[in-house]
Structure 1
Amino acid sequence: MSLNPLRLASKALIALFCLSVLTGSVRPTQLEVVRMQGEITMVTRNSPTTFYEDRSGPTGYELELAQAFADHLGVQLRVVVADSLSDIFRLIDTQPGVFAAASLTRTPQRERLVRFAEPYQQISEYVIYRRGGLKPATPADLLQGRLMVTAASSHSERLHDWQASNVPELSWSESPELEVADLLQMVAQGSLDFTLVDSNEYRMLQAYYPTLDIAFNAADQRDIAWAFGWSRDDSLHQAANDFFAHIKPQPLLANLAERYYGHLDKLDYVGARRFLRQADQKLDTYRPHFVDAAGEHGFDWRLLAAMGYQESHWNPRARSFTGVRGLMMLTLNTAKELGVKNRLDPVQSIHGGSLYLSRLRDRLSDVPEPDRTWLALAAYNVGFGHLTDARKITAQMGGNPDLWLDVKEALPLLSQKRYYRHTRHGYARGQEPVDYVQNIRRYYDVLVWNDEQTQPLKGEELLASSAITVVPPLL
């Protein structure tokens, strides 16, 4: 028996209408629509603090947080990447059931345009300059050089406030097409003298531009929050507030902070300059071997290269006072176990070290990534036995032995007698594997950044390729 699709559709509509009359129901809320559709839309932007793609696919602090929100609602997450901040605000103002998760600073001006949810992060606002160049100490000092910020940003609002309050002669340029990384590159190259940057973005990017520094802090801390369009229906906005109230006692925000920011302070100006110089001089020699070893053992070659730099600064003849040798600093016993006949041969050392790291990772098969890799790296440095002791201490202290965030707090305790006396493997210099892993993570970030910057535009080319508006002084 065949059924007429149109007739079925008509019957369904009539049934829905009758149901609404009988129940006295009204127009569904935005939250109800989202749940009925099974999807919520996040509007964001490409940046290291929000959303980007790496070799494993889409990632980013905001993406993971928004995915947790979607899971909390029981729906799928749809991601829309806007071209500019202005587009973000336009989309959430015109599209119902949409929210912006784009590392947006909550400001008085923006609060007139959008409804912010509860904040989940706090940032400062930095004025950035190039070391050896003009260093401003106050907003008035910005008159000495060329200044540019992203259009429609909180930094543009800050400059307008300074201009209106005490520096009426202040002028600057704005571009909707230039993101923070572009502006920092232009300051580093001398095409600009100053820019304004949120502290979380600067922490992400400072190692890539070691010639830059903070001139002064532009303001007290500000809140970062999700934004929703103004509407009588605030159900979705309220759902977000409920979500943040729900997760605050849980480790999600702490885990995200550790994953994306926890290792960023490990590379200072001197260390960053040295690392970039060594990468230019040495890495091409060993890169093919890191690539081969990575393919054989399932690693990102840049992680192995970062590990090699941490071990020996890519010196195949390196030697420690304990007798470990070579580019990947293998002990004599470990080298024999791995079949490495000559620890000073960089190819053998790279493949041996990669195999050893792979075996350590295999022993942590129940731990999800990326924590599995961070724990394996710690074991490479301090030994698997000491790592096991630290994970047991972590559990005894109420932490999660599968989370690097928690284990890195327990590892230094292995140097305290009241803790190591109750462990199987005893004393260890537990702070060393923590620094070891955090350093490797930072070196890895820099290598990924450099590898993905294929012929970056120079400052003049960025200026020529962008739509720039000059904000003149107040009359």
Structure 2
Amino acid sequence: MHVNIPTRPRAGDLVILAVALLLLVELVYAMHWREAGYRARTVLRVAVPGHEWIQGAPARQGRGFEQELLDAYCRDNGLTWKLLETGTWDQAWAMLERGKADVVIALGSVPPAALAKRAVPGPAYARFNPVIIHNDRRFGVRTDCELCDQPILVSTNAALHDALQGRGDELDCTPSAVVGDGLDIVPLLDTLDGNQARFALVDEGRFRLWQPFYHRIRTSRALPESIPYRWYWDGTDQPLARSLEAFWTRMDGSPALADLYDRYFGFLPEESDPFELAHLLRTVGTRLPRYGATIARAAAQSGIDPLLLVAVLYQESRFDPGAVSKTGVRGMMQLTADTARRLGVDRNDPRQSILGGARYLRMLHDALDDPALDDDTRWLFALAAYNQGPGHLNDAVALARRLGGTGASWRELKDAFPKLAWERWYKDAKHGYTRGFEAVAFVESIRYYHYVLRGLVALERPEAQALAAVYDGPEGEAARARLAATPAAPTDASGPDVAAAE
């Protein structure tokens, strides 16, 4: 009987076999992805002109709304992202057309007609009206005819220009638009603030962020057309398109997106009150300096952003050491007699009140042990507890969960807290009735004041000079470092890269 005895393969044969298998895999891979139009990637290239929603400007508030969205998409898909900064929207669309960008974050812009088939739109996750603004030294729009008789400054945004032209079609006249090449909202606002023009047309979504720093500029009229904010991506890259469609299917209308929007914009009023802003600036300029060293010390000892502490002081007492509430709380930080006694401070002494109040706020923050709370939300919860007590905060969290939420979102608590003033809801609460609507108003006001104060510092406005007092001395060094470390533009902290557009 003949038996075939296997022999050990030679090393050369193994090398040839391995190379052949490798070539076969590469051929199959290339054929598959060529059919899908896919280009293997590790980096998502994102084109957009400089914009507040990307940069967290003007108050250097977090990483930026769009950066956090990009982080979320890239985490889901094992990518990093690179920002391709362009000067105009036309340049951003041209990069998508030439295949040099994968996504355009179209914050109110629309692609040119030539890109209509290639640029795939995602859902509109925000909409804003174009608004005509004016300096309060001049009249606003009194008659429709003034839209055609007076020059209107417009930034280089086709959607804004089209909205103005559409208004002209209704009026049977041509609005006198002055469109500047690369005219951004800041030089446009500066022009109006200097009383060098009467009208300008801006995107309300951007104007609301800047209005607190231009309190002489008011909204004169809103145009009816809404401008969508959405992403566009290259539809010829099918795997990319599918992944982005899946991401936005999950995100569109989701609690996560609503929470992110609330974090960056939920506290902004529809129209800033110029008298309130003037009073804030005057109070900070005249009353804050005498307590600056104490605020810096309290901020350093408690680990609280000194500007947040300034916002709390303004909300609580307007820096009046003799302030007394109808509920019996008093002093700079409006402490109850029981809280002051437990802290061992004299609440009528302004410096003891500041130090004790900051320490108490930190205690409330540290007592929140829910691991689902991020630090920003934890501070908002602590502020609500400072206003209505930790027991009522716990009731609001429990109610938010009963209503189907997580109990770890300030947006949810903004809905739940006011309900605790109604018997239908507070009868089942452990601590009963509370003025939950006051807690919401308290926290939202502090968020707004904090935003304004941070913006004044970030923009290096003259009004912010008085705020330097809260950073003076060695006690304020850590707080100054925290403020300086907050990025105003994209960084590589979580993988994204930054590049200039070609």
Q: Name the TM-score class by shorter chain.
A: 0.7 to 0.9
Q: Structure 1 292/86 Cα, relative in aligned 2: closer, same or farther at 3 Å?
A: farther
Q: Structure 1 53/249 Cα, relative in aligned 2: closer, same or farther at 3 Å?
A: closer
Partner of 1:355: 359
Q: Structure 1 13/29 Cα, relative in aligned 2: closer, same or farther at 3 Å?
A: farther
With 64-73 and 267-276 compared, the bigger mean Cα shift is at 267-276
Partner of 1:71: 75
Deviation at 1:58, TM superposition (A): 5.6
Deviation at 1:391, TM superposition (A): 0.8
Residue among 292, 301, 308 paired with 2:297: 292
User: Is the Cα–Cα contact under 8 Å of residues 152 and 200 in structure 2 kept in the other structure?
Assistant: yes
Letter in 2 for 1:355: R
Deviation at 1:362, TM superposition (A): 0.1
Aligned: 1:389 with 2:395: yes
Residue among 184, 187, 208 paired with 2:213: 208
Partner of 1:404: 410
Separation in 2, partners of 1:265, 1:185:
21
Tell me the alpha carbon deviations over residues 66-123 of structure 1, each in whole angstroms, 9 at most, x when there is no partner: 2222223232233333333333223333344521225233477586484422222222
User: Is the Cα–Cα contact under 8 Å of residues 43 and 99 in structure 1 kept in the other structure?
Assistant: yes
What are the residue-to-residue correspondences of 1:118-129 with 2, within 5 Å? 118-129=123-134
Separation in 2, partners of 1:174, 1:94:
25
Q: Structure 1 49/205 Cα, relative in aligned 2: closer, same or farther at 3 Å?
A: same
Aligned: 1:436 with 2:442: yes
Residue among 111, 127, 152 paired with 1:147: 152
Tell me the alpha carbon deviations over residues 273-312 of structure 1, each in whole angstroms, 9 at most, x when there is no partner: 3223323333333334323322222221111111111101
Deviation at 1:384, TM superposition (A): 0.4
What are the residue-to-residue correspondences of 1:275-354 with 2, within 5 Å? 275-341=280-346, 343-354=347-358
Instruction: Report the secondary structure of 1:257's partner residue.
Output: helix
Partner of 1:174: 180
* TM-score with structure 2 setting the length: 0.79
Separation in 2, partners of 1:335, 1:172:
60
User: Is the Cα–Cα contact under 8 Å of residues 135 and 216 in structure 2 kept in the other structure?
Assistant: yes
Partner of 1:449: 455
Instruction: Report the secondary structure of 2:218's partner residue.
Output: strand
Q: Structure 1 83/348 Cα, relative in aligned 2: closer, same or farther at 3 Å?
A: farther
Deviation at 1:129, TM superposition (A): 1.0
Deviation at 1:363, TM superposition (A): 0.8
Separation in 2, partners of 1:49, 1:128:
21
Separation in 1, partners of 2:192, 2:32:
55
Instruction: Report the secondary structure of 2:87's partner residue.
Output: coil
Partner of 1:104: 108
Partner of 1:195: 200
With 289-298 and 405-414 compared, the bigger mean Cα shift is at 289-298
Partner of 2:471: none
Partner of 1:89: 93
Letter in 2 for 1:190: N
Q: Structure 1 347/323 Cα, relative in aligned 2: closer, same or farther at 3 Å?
A: same
Separation in 1, partners of 2:47, 2:18:
33
Deviation at 1:26, TM superposition (A): 4.4
Deviation at 1:179, TM superposition (A): 2.5
* TM-score with structure 1 setting the length: 0.83
Instruction: Report the secondary structure of 1:227's partner residue.
Output: strand
Tell me the alpha carbon deviations over residues 38-57 of structure 1, each in whole angstroms, 9 at most, x when there is no partner: 32233334333332379988
User: Is the Cα–Cα contact under 8 Å of residues 294 and 304 in structure 1 kept in the other structure?
Assistant: yes
Instruction: Report the secondary structure of 2:108's partner residue.
Output: strand
Which runs of 5 or more residues in structure 1 are unaligned? 1-9, 457-475
What are the residue-to-residue correspondences of 1:159-170 with 2, within 5 Å? 159=164, 166-168=172-174, 170=176
Separation in 2, partners of 1:448, 1:371:
18
Aligned: 1:224 with 2:229: yes
User: Is the Cα–Cα contact under 8 Å of residues 62 and 102 in structure 1 kept in the other structure?
Assistant: no
Tell me the alpha carbon deviations over residues 383-437 of structure 1, each in whole angstroms, 9 at most, x when there is no partner: 0011011111111121111111111211112111222222221111110000000
Separation in 1, partners of 2:343, 2:58:
31
Q: Structure 1 360/142 Cα, relative in aligned 2: closer, same or farther at 3 Å?
A: same
Q: Structure 1 76/207 Cα, relative in aligned 2: closer, same or farther at 3 Å?
A: same
User: Is the Cα–Cα contact under 8 Å of residues 149 and 175 in structure 1 kept in the other structure?
Assistant: no
Letter in 2 for 1:361: H
Deviation at 1:443, TM superposition (A): 0.6
Larger radius of gyration: 2
Partner of 1:254: 258
Partner of 2:493: none
User: Is the Cα–Cα contact under 8 Å of residues 143 and 170 in structure 1 kept in the other structure?
Assistant: yes
The sequence identity of aligned pairs, in percent, is 27
Separation in 1, partners of 2:113, 2:290:
53
Aligned: 1:240 with 2:258: no
User: Is the Cα–Cα contact under 8 Å of residues 331 and 349 in structure 2 kept in the other structure?
Assistant: yes
With 183-192 and 279-288 compared, the bigger mean Cα shift is at 279-288
User: Is the Cα–Cα contact under 8 Å of residues 108 and 229 in structure 2 kept in the other structure?
Assistant: yes
Total equivalences in the alignment: 442
Separation in 2, partners of 1:251, 1:133:
43
User: Is the Cα–Cα contact under 8 Å of residues 328 and 349 in structure 1 kept in the other structure?
Assistant: yes
User: Is the Cα–Cα contact under 8 Å of residues 298 and 354 in structure 2 kept in the other structure?
Assistant: yes
